[in-house]
Amino acid sequence: MKQATPRLFVPVCGGLSHTHTHTRTHAHTHTHLQGFAALKLTALGSPKLLERMSTAIVESARLFESFDRDGDGVVTHEEFEKTYKEIFKDADAKLPALIPRLDPNNTGLIDYVEWSKLLTPRDLPRLVEGCRISGPLSAAAPNPEELQLMLAMRKRLWEVAQCAYENDVGLLIDAEQTYYQPAIDNYVLSLMKEFNSNSKSPAPIIFNTYQCYLKDTFARVSIDVDRAKRNDFHFAAKIVRGAYMNAERARAEEQGYESPICEDERATHENYDRVVETLIRNREAMGNKQEIMVATHNRESIEKAVAIMNELKMEGGVGVHFAQLLGMRDDLTFNLGNNKYKAYKYVPYGKVNEVMPYLIRRAQENSDITKGMGAELKMIEKEFKRRVFG
């Protein structure tokens, strides 16, 4: 099992970081979180298993695309039945019960969100038994041993989430490589349904992470917001630019598929700002049942987010958090905290030989960190003169 570098978020008030102690009451009545902790799912199980799970989820999505021949995201009952009979030999037995489950409101249409709710990796073995021919979906179906390993990983994750829930600590599940991400999203959405339920909690506990250097991020965020509305849970997201750019491009080139990464830095910035703006504006439409962490070292993105919050008169930035790495772009964190926004420092902790490589990679991948060095030096110089000369 892969060893993880633990990480947490330390709150900042008035530019000064501090930690919280918190005693939980018997009833879960929090209206704001006492802090955050971050978790990599590859620390709780085999990365290879996550990759297998992700393949199964992707093949399930491609199966829906075979029903949705015009690509508009919905299919009629007639279109679904026609294609289902072409693919599955047990269609006559399965369809009478399947259609009402896929269209619970009897709209005459079936969409991808309902399809994805119904079809999970655990459902695949039963589904592929009825396939007329073996194909990628059959090959992706997990075997009994893999299903048990998936359940074991889920159990470990649920134990962490339960601890976070009981202590009013936000749990941010890190994004990872694209070939793990569908499985991670699947687990996180299940956690959200349980711990972010509107009936269970007045504020979200579980946050998913979205990397905006990926071309499909906005579409994925939109689908997940829709899932939250349909399933009556708080949507919560940490928005980052991304951390696996070089590896993703190299893998795409090696395996001969289109790179999932945005064409250039400008496209990534535009994608990031679009996602952040949409989620901030969407908070009111969600009945304030949504929170977002703007995790960035980019001054322009922070200023745009603050401008939108001011326009919407979001007093104190309710529902919006900001975060930067400890020791990096402290000028941004200081100003956010000093102006009463919810600002956090992202603190990797553990053995030096485990933490330093992580920080070096973040600095190498994020040019916004080095761009801010001049601003930080000026702040230090100003403070030095104030203390020496008064």
Domain ranges of the chain: 7-47+144-389, 54-140
Q: How far is CA 23 from the centre of its chain?
A: 28
What pLDDT shows up at residue 197? 93
pLDDT category at 164 given cuts 50, 70, 90 is very high
Task: Give the mean pLDDT of the chain.
Answer: 85
* CA neighbours closer than 13 Å in the CB half-sphere of residue 389: 6
Q: Which CATH architecture has domain 54-140?
A: Orthogonal Bundle (1.10)
Q: For residue 251, how many other CB atoms are within 10 A of its CB? A: 16
Indicate the burial class of 28 (C-beta count within 10 angstroms; 0-12, 13-18, 19 or more): middle
Q: Which two tokens stand for residue 22?
A: 């918190």
CATH architecture of 7-47+144-389: Alpha-Beta Barrel (3.20)
Which pLDDT score is estimated for 196?
95
- Is residue 165 predicted with pLDDT exceeding 60? yes
What are the DSSP calls for 20-33, one per residue? ---PPPSS---SS-
The alpha helices in 180-298, defined as continuous H runs, are: 181-195, 217-231, 245-255, 265-285
Supply the pLDDT for residue 25: 36
**Rounded Cα gap, residues 211 and 173, in angstroms:** 12
Question: Residue 279: pLDDT band by 50, 70, 90 thresholds?
Answer: very high
Amino acid 180: pLDDT: 96
- The whole-number pLDDT of residue 198 equals 85
With cut-offs at 50, 70 and 90, classify the pLDDT of residue 380. low
Same fold, 7-47+144-389 and 54-140: no
- Per-residue pLDDT reduced to its tens digit, 3-53: 445 566 666 543 333 333 333 333 444 456 778 999 999 999 999 999 999
Is residue 283 pLDDT above 90, yes or no?
Answer: no
